[in-house]
Chains A and B, each alone.
Chain A
Amino acid sequence: MTEQSSSKSEVPLIVEMRGIVKRFPGVLANDHVDFKLLHGEIHGLLGENGAGKSTLMNVLAGLYRQEAGTIFVNGEPKVFSSPRDAIQAGIGMVHQHFMLVPSQTVTENILLGLDDPRFFLRLPEYDAKVAALGERFGLKVDPRAKIWQLSVGEQQRVEILKMLYRGVDVLIMDEPTAVLAPQEIEGLFVTLRAMIAQGKSVIFISHKLQEVSAIADRVSVLRRGVCTASGVPSKGVSRQELARLMVGREVVFSIDKKPSNPQGVVLEVNDIYAENDKGLPALRGVSLNVRAGEIVGVAGVAGNGQSEISQVISGMRQCKQGQVLLNGDKVSNRNTLFGIQHGMAYVPEDRTHVGSAPNLSITDNVIMKNYRKPPISHNGLLDMKAATRLANELKTAYDIIVPSVSTPVRLLSGGNLQRVILAREISGLPAFMVAVQPTRGLDVGAIEGVQRLLLAQREAGAAVLLISEELEELLSLSDRIYVIYEGKIMGEVKVEGGETDEGLVDVIGQMMTGTPLDQIQKEGAVAQ
């Protein structure tokens, strides 16, 4: 596998990846990608979902084996057959999904898999070590705390500490900001800069332009497995230019939206309390309403009760207190069937585990909501001809790209699957629709398609509740936005004409981290 000894390494090159090729069945994830990391820099790795960023970095971290190409670390060619090899070479990765044991303490998690405390744990000794390490890099976290007691931001710090404890010089952060609130992101940036100051290097994977231009010294961009920019200084390139490199065409940042014309209230959520799957309070007195002909957004950092709201509304989760009214009928704490029969459509967050039956055909999946009534069924018998006809109609109308409607939906791409779900939900002509993260994981073209479908619903007079973590998406689609934090609504703001003004984003950001709107306004008044 090794071809020749290293080239003469120019002084500060710490990692070099040359001609990396990685193939997955049916996809060329990395097509001869070159990547260079300088010593002591924060290198932003930009690209859309599925562009091959994580794959490339998983190769560097020893999780995947490249099919061609070579990795040089400090000028020497390396072959990694496991993450352990990569860590030994000084390269560690913090994954998007944390790999921590919830019932164990911070120190125990950090020591996990190491040979050092051989038999007796002598935890206090190691607690002190971990605390000292955290001190050095500004990563404040209590070594004796159990993981489940920590916030997401703190858990991320534990993951970083885990790598630092193993003495890595290169830290790969895979979409580190996806789970953080704006203020926590600022904290993370401070940490990363502290690490650079102490001689570490960081690779920062993201698909968010503004973050990369805020934190990175240099930027590389991947598009469909090909490197479209390699190590350009982030100061010298505009966001538009980066966006063009990412998607290959100019992105219009705002979507055309007609002025809103809201009618009567369709959905009313009154003071609901509910628990999450673990039996912990997830919603603590949430009230909101949605009127016909408007899109109402719910903003918030992941895990603040958004999923539970949608589940209580759709009837998939019981609420302890309060109620949800759909056109005056109580829909909460009844079964999902009641909502379906009263004109509720639901685009769930989890497309594969909730929104579809993976091994059943597209036909079987599109009749999920209307198989009870004609023309799909008569007297308990299914009319498969009618069902197939409907599936074919939807396939054409919603651009579902697939050879046949008898294909099992597990073989569809994310965008196609989402179109199947939206086709099913929209074709029922709903009076109300709740959509959770409808564009997550889709490529730009698909995102635009889904957003247009949501706007079309609004224009058709449906009431739409859009729950999303993409603030830009909420700002461009919604007429009003509620912000949720730890199961409580922090406030409600109006969005005028789709403009994204800085003040509004700032207010939403503050609410997302737990400052209620009235408090922000009070402080604003005092400041003036």
Chain B
Amino acid sequence: MTESTTVKQKMPFRIRIEPRLSEPPAWYPALVSFGALIVALVLGGILITLSGGDALRSYQHIAKASFGDIGVISDTIVKATPIILAALACSVAFRMKLWNIGAEGQFIMGAFGASAIVLIPVLPADTSRWVFIPVMMIAGMAAGAIWGFIPGYLKAKFNVNEIISTLMLNYVAVAWVNFWIFGVWTEGGFQMSPKFPNGASLPRLLELSKTFPAVRGLTTHLGLLIGIIAAIVLWFIIFRSRWGYEIRLIGDNPRAAQYAGINITQNTIWVMMLSGALAGLGGMSEIAGVVHRLQTAPIAAGYGFTGIIVAWLAKLNPLAIIFVSILFGALILAGREIQPSGVPKMIQGIILVCLIASDFLLRYRIIISRGEE
């Protein structure tokens, strides 16, 4: 409807809502997002108060527990790292309006692929780290890409709904990993593989503590750098390459893309593979940087689903994803400090709803005028 709507009439002033006809200035979206965050925190505070808590102290606690000192900042970043890569994976698929909600499964398969290098073993345990890491990265990305290729191919060739197929493949991925750790690679009957050799782990900041005492105990690992580089490369692909242009064009208007001579079928498969590879890289980073063994629970912890939310909140912008991921890393980490589930999850939910609702202000403007005109 192009018609403007009058909301209240019996008031001393009138509120009208009109669609925006021109782009708001560049700083406006950031301001709106920030405002939405404030509103969400206020609502969350009301919620905490209602449940008998002290809102201000809770927030102080959250802030302290996630950004209070260098140690917890590092922990926050460790939490954010897998989210960055999962969100990048979602963002590239969403950019083309491919609703890949299978980043979770692709993430798990990435972890599996990287683990396979150690556990089969493809490389002997005493291999140098600088051989191990690249090979594991490639294996993780390849496994994730295969998990993205399947729904991509089905979508491209038979128009199978990718929402259903990617969702279902998540369960398959969990079952697949379980099969290996329950049976083939089990460590003495426990549902986990043996611990990886040192060479198969990503270097962490704490390893530098001999030269820089300040980084003692910091668990931030190379995965962060991998995530940031991936974000920058993805930004470059999307906004500065021919392929990225094609992805953007298909995403905005597939018929215009066809009109411009772009092969949508092929791009569907390629983009799903890229998406899967990014998620797989996330799985590799988590397994080699944090978990150090193949195990279902810490890998299938919902990073792929958080990635969906983060990708949207970052408006699919790869660089913004880094910052939103850190925010979510903090929420996950600090939330656990307050309560294992419940309130922190609700605050997450409120933030999400507020941010999404604030989008309305980008597309419409609200005009308040006094009296009748």
Contacts and interface: CB of A to CB of B under 8 A. Distances in A.
B266 to A, nearest CB: 11
Given A24-B3, A377-B242, A368 B263 contact: no
A359 B3 CA distance: 21
- For B252, B256, B259, the residue with the greatest tally of chain A CB atoms inside 10 Å of its CB is B259
**Chain A interface mostly helix, strand, loop or mixed?**
loop
A182 interface: no
Interface residues of A, number: 38
A80 to B, nearest CB: 14
Contact of B241 (A336, A353, A381): A381
B240 interface: yes
Nearest to A58: B3
A320 to B, nearest CB: 19
Contacts of B2: 24-25
A382 B23 contact: no
A380 B4 CA distance: 45
Contact of A360 (B19, B249, B255, B258): B249
B261 interface: yes
A408 B363 CA distance: 13
Contacts of B239: 384
B261 A357 contact: no
A364 B249 contact: yes
A355 B256 contact: yes
Given A360-B252, A382-B240, A316 B3 contact: no
Contact of A368 (B21, B23, B244, B249): B249
B259 A346 contact: yes
Contact of B260 (A26, A368, A384): A368
Contacts of A206: none
B23 A356 contact: no
B260 A340 contact: yes
B261 A354 contact: no
B258 A382 contact: no
B259 A354 contact: yes
Interface string B126-167: 000000000000000000000000000000000000000000
Interface in A362-379: 364, 367-369, 371-372, 377
- Chain A CB within 10 A, most for which of B22, B255, B256: B256
Contacts of B75: none
A368 B18 CA distance: 32
A338 B258 CA distance: 12
Interface residues of B, number: 28
A335 B255 contact: no
A3 to B, nearest CB: 13
A371 B256 CA distance: 14
B263 A335 contact: yes
Contacts of A339: 261
B353 to A, nearest CB: 24
A64 interface: yes
A314 interface: yes
A145 interface: no
Given A24-B4, A346-B259, A411 B21 contact: yes
Nearest to B250: A357
Nearest to B2: A24
Contacts of A381: 240-242
B245 interface: yes
B243 interface: yes
B369 interface: no
Given A355-B259, A408-B23, A25 B18 contact: yes
Interface string A54-65: 000000000010
Contacts of B22: 411
A337 interface: yes
B259 A358 contact: no
Given A372-B242, A382-B245, A335 B261 contact: yes
Interface string A310-334: 0000101000000000000000000
Given A64-B3, A337-B261, A411-B21, A357 B242 contact: no
Given A357-B256, A364-B248, 5 more contacts: A25-B19, A355-B259, A359-B252, A380-B243, A384-B239
6 contacts: A336-B258, A357-B256, A360-B248, A372-B242, A380-B242, A381-B242
Interface of B: 2-4, 18-19, 21-23, 239-245, 248-249, 252-253, 255-263
10 shortest interchain CB distances as A-B pairs: A337-B261, A357-B252, A336-B261, A368-B260, A357-B253, A25-B18, A26-B21, A340-B261, A357-B256, A354-B255
